[in-house]
Structure 1
Amino acid sequence: MRVLAVGAHPDDIELGCGGALLAHRARGDEVTLLVMTTGEQGPQDARSRIGEQEDAAELLGADLRWGGFDDCAVPTDRSAVTVVQDAIDASGADIVYTHAPLDTHQDHRATAAAVRAAARRARRVLLYESPTTTSFDPVVYIDVATLVEAKLDLLRAHMSQVLKNGLVDLEAVEAQARYHGFRGRMRNAEAFEAERFVWDLGAAEPAAPVVAAAVAGPLVPQAAATVVVPRTRRP
């Protein structure tokens, strides 16, 4: 499977779906990250956050693309849709992850809108929660029971946000995984709204992955990823 995860700023993707991406890598899936801005309006300069995102992508074993937009000014016009469409085409994505649309940050809202437009023909589009999300009604849960610490390591790569300024609370991330796990009837989970999620029951279920040395780095323990779709989302 080929995966594209899109975020507005460095660390958004790791916060929202870092555990799911680690599970994808453990199965041998190809992962591409598209980060729309360098987050240069944040507490550190653009170069620092660029380097942090590059480090996180390397730890994950993912390809990294940049959207090239100014922080706090992701557009809502065709230009943003085109950037996402180019990333979908280049990665050949079978599934796309991005921000949930109801959010107080304008970049998150604009990114969500651009992805939903660009991925209008995609069969699987999942929406993740951010600390600034205002309403979130998840229907898909991914088991990350053995991946929480590895997700925290991805976030620690974003030193300016986690270790220096405390903008990312690692204890809250752990608590969130436990909370979503409780709701999804498992130990720890990441939760997603579903823009669209096609489940092909005619295909054989994949066996529990055997992680090859070339795929499994220090952040990819041997673990199966369980996807639970508990109910149909109400309109």
Structure 2
Amino acid sequence: MTALALPDGPLVVLALGAHPDDIEIGCGGTLLALRERGDVDLRTLVLTGTEDRLAEGAAAAAAFGASARPVFAGLPDARLPEHWGAVKEALHRFRDAQPHPDLVLVPRADDAHQDHRLLGSLAPTVWRGPLVLHYEIPKWDGDLGRPNVYVPLPPSLVDRKVELLNASFPSQHDRDWWDDEFFRSILRLRGAEVPTRYAEAFYTAKLAIELC
């Protein structure tokens, strides 16, 4: 397996989620690793969420290293395909208000959840220059695929990710799938594919390599 590194120097990273916990579940470990790297300007967009959930999302973004409060689009949960135009407009507004990114993190374009899927499919039409990585969100639907990009994570960052997920999203603790074992299991599984102990996995459809 070939390892590529992000360029040295400051980075602008945009992370987009359909729901307030999508980003942190899907790529929270990567965000923590970027924060440890330093010189990373992280901006986030969340498309849906009730008032209580938005408060959780704002706290989580700060805990995971965001440089500013998330932008909340205020769209209806589980109904994003009915609001295609509003989603597209929210993405363009967010893009135009942020520095040009080096990396954009979004859900998978073939995610089983309709909100994730729409966001994942539209994002590459809005950001055509930077690297777009699609994160995965394990769920009841059993829609995990075959990723082609991995970010190895040391155990300390895995511990921190799980700790911050639990601290940031108390409203989700009663869900039957929400527990430490669930979050660690996917990280361990993807780590075995690298191979390392833990990793977050992503998908990319297009990657340009500059050799000179």
Bin of the TM-score, shorter chain as denominator length: 0.7 to 0.9
If the length of structure 2 is used for normalisation, what is the TM-score? 0.83
| Alignment of 1:131 onto 2:131 | no
Amino acid at match of 2:197: R
| Alignment of 1:65 onto 2:76 | no
5+ residue gaps, structure 1, are 39-45, 203-235
Matched position secondary structure for 2:111: coil
The corresponding residue for 1:110 is: 118
Q: How far apart, CA to CA, are the structure 2 residues paired with 1:135 and 1:61?
A: 27
| Residues 77-88 of structure 1 aligned to structure 2 (within 5 Å) | 77-88=84-95
Q: How far apart, CA to CA, are the structure 2 residues paired with 1:10 and 1:52?
A: 7
Q: How far apart, CA to CA, are the structure 2 residues paired with 1:102 and 1:27?
A: 30
5+ residue gaps, structure 2, are 1-10
Asked whether the equivalents of residues 148 and 174 of structure 1 are also in contact (C-alpha less than 8 Å), the reply is yes
Which contiguous aligned blocks of 4+ residues in structure 1 show a shift greater than 4 angstroms? none
Q: For residues 99 and 143 of structure 1, do their structure 2 counterparts lie closer, same or farther at Cα, with a shift above 3 Å needed?
A: same
Question: Offset at 1:105?
Answer: 1.5
Asked whether the equivalents of residues 108 and 120 of structure 2 are also in contact (C-alpha less than 8 Å), the reply is yes
User: CA-to-partner distance for each residue in 1:58-94, whole Å, 9 max, x for gaps?
Assistant: 2123121112211111146333122112223322221
The corresponding residue for 1:226 is: none
**Which gives a bigger RCO, structure 1 or 2 (Cα 8 Å, sep 6+)?**
1
* Cα root mean square deviation, aligned: 1.8
Question: Offset at 1:9?
Answer: 0.4
Asked whether the equivalents of residues 24 and 30 of structure 1 are also in contact (C-alpha less than 8 Å), the reply is no
Q: For residues 22 and 200 of structure 1, do their structure 2 counterparts lie closer, same or farther at Cα, with a shift above 3 Å needed?
A: farther
Asked whether the equivalents of residues 127 and 192 of structure 1 are also in contact (C-alpha less than 8 Å), the reply is yes
Question: Offset at 1:189?
Answer: 0.6
Question: Offset at 1:138?
Answer: 0.7
Q: Which has the higher helix share?
A: 2
Q: For residues 201 and 20 of structure 1, do their structure 2 counterparts lie closer, same or farther at Cα, with a shift above 3 Å needed?
A: farther
The corresponding residue for 1:53 is: 57
> How many pairs does the alignment contain?
193
